[in-house]
Amino acid sequence: MTAAPLALLGARTATGELVDVAIADGRISQVVPGGTLPATPATASRDLTGYVLLPAPAEPHAHVDKALLADRVPNRTGDLAGAIEAIEAIYPSMTDDDILDRARRAVSIAIAHGYTQIRSHADCGDTHGLRSVQALAQVRKELGGLVDLQIVALMRASTTGPDGANQLAMLRDALACGADLVGGAPHLEPDPMRAIGQFFDVAGELGRDVDLHTDEETVASTAGLAEMARIVLTTGFPHLVSAGHCVSLGVQDEATARRTAEQVAAAGIAVIANPQTNLYLQARDDVTRKPRGLTAIRVLLDAGVTVAAGSDNWRDPFNPMSRIDALETASLMVSAGHLLPDAAYRSVSDAVREAMGYEPVRIAPGSPAHLLAVQAGSLVEAIAAGPAQRLVVRGGAVVAQTTVTTVLHPALVPVTA
Ligand SMILES: [Zn+2]
C-alpha cells in the first residue's frame, strides 16, 4: 500500500520540541519547527496540537491465539502450572472460528493502541496440531495492510519425550504452513538442554529465526539462556535469536548473571522481558520477600544486550490483565523494571524492532513513518496516563484514530485525563 502524502502538524516530540512532520512514500521526508511547514494541496494534514509524537510501539511477545480468554478460563492457582492446566482444559472444545475471532479482535485492539509490528507465538503440536498457526496466518492475511505479524511456532508438546520425533515433524509442518520462527519452552521439557539444541538444529536447517520461552522460573540454577549463547557462539548460528522471560537470570547472584549477560551480548541474542505476566505468575509460593519474576534488566543493559519488553498474554489464564497497550508495558518497565521513561519506551519500540529484524524508526527524515501520536504533553505523561486519544500511522498511512469526548458538570473545572 502506497500512502498519499501526509503532514502531521504541531506535535511535540519525546524531547519536547514542537514540530511539523511531512511524510511521503511511507517515510518521513521533513521535520521542521512547528507552524513552518508550507501547506500543499495534494497533502492531507492532521493537527496534532496537544499530542506527543513517538516512534510506533512494536510487540515482541504476544500469544494472540489465547487472547481474551480470561473470563472463560480462570487460572485457579494463578501460577504457570495453573495456566497451562486451564488452557489444556479448554483446547479440546475450542473451535477454529473461536481462535480466529479472538485473534482478530485482539490484534485490532493492538493496532488501535499503536502497534505496527507484532510477534505472536502460536501453540502447536500434540492434539492441538496446527490450528493456532493457521488462524494467525489468516489474521495476518486479513490485517496485513495494517500491521506486520510474525508468527512463532511454539511447541506445546515435548520434543525430548517419547513422542519427540512426531512433535519435531509437526514443528516443521508449522513452519511450512505459515509460522515464521522456531519457538518452544525448553525449561518445561524433560531434557531442556537437548530441546534447545533441537530447536536450533531445525531453525538452522530451515533458515529461520529462533524465539524461545527461556528459563521462565525463579530457579537460579536454570541456565537455558547461557546454553543458547553457547550454541550461537560455538556454531556461528546466523539467524536472529530472542530469549523471552529469562526469569532465572533475575534471581542468580550478580557475578553469575553478569557472566551470562556478557555471553548473551557476544552472541547478539535479544532478551524479551514480559513484566506483567511474570509479576503475575511467578513466586506465588513465597509470601514474603517475593522475587519479582523479572529478568536482570540492568545487568543485561550494562552488558550491551538488546532488552525489549512485551505484554506476553492479552487477558488469558497466564495473565488476566493487559490493556494490550505498549504504554502499559512501558509503565511497568519504569515502576517494576526501574528504567527511566525514555529507556522504557525504547524497550517497547526500537529495541523490539532490533529483536525482530525491522528497520529503526526515528522522528527524522528518511525514517519509516511508523508513528504513534498520543494526546499528552510529554512522553512521561503518555506512559503514565496511557491516554485513549491516539493517531496511529503505519507506512505513512493513518491506520487508526481514537477520539474521546469527556463532558464534566459545568460547575467543575475542565481537566484532561
Ligand atoms: Zn509467552
Q: Is the pLDDT of residue 2 over 70?
A: no
Q: How far is the CA of 61 from the centre of ligand 1 (A)?
A: 6
Compute, in angstroms, the gap from residue 284 CA to the centroid of ligand 1.
18
DSSP state of 251: G
* Residue 101 CA from chain centroid, whole number: 20
The four Cα atoms 214, 110, 179, 234 give a dihedral, to 10 degrees, of -30
CA of 36 to the centre of ligand 1 (A): 46
Q: What is the pLDDT of residues 9-39, one digit of tens each?
A: 999 999 999 999 999 999 999 999 999 999 8
Q: What is the pLDDT of residues 244-302, one digit of tens each?
A: 999 999 999 999 999 999 999 999 999 999 999 999 999 998 899 888 889 999 999 99
pLDDT band of 350, cuts 50, 70, 90: very high
pLDDT of residue 56: 98
Centre of ligand 1 to C-alpha 63, Å, is: 6
Cα diameter, the chain:
71
For the chain, list the domains and their CATH numbers. 6-55+362-402 (2.30.40.10), 58-356 (3.20.20.140)
User: What spacing in Å lies between the alpha carbon of 184 and ligand 1's midpoint?
Assistant: 9
Question: Dihedral, CA atoms, 64, 68, 70, 75, nearest 10 degrees?
Answer: -10
d(CA 16, CA 260): 38
Query: What are the backbone dihedrals phi and psi of residue 267, each rounded to the nearest 5 degrees, phi first?
Result: -80, -10
pLDDT above 90 coverage of the chain, percent: 86
| Set of cell numbers at residue 176 | 511450512
Contact between residue 334 and residue 344 where contact means Cβ atoms under 8 Å apart: yes
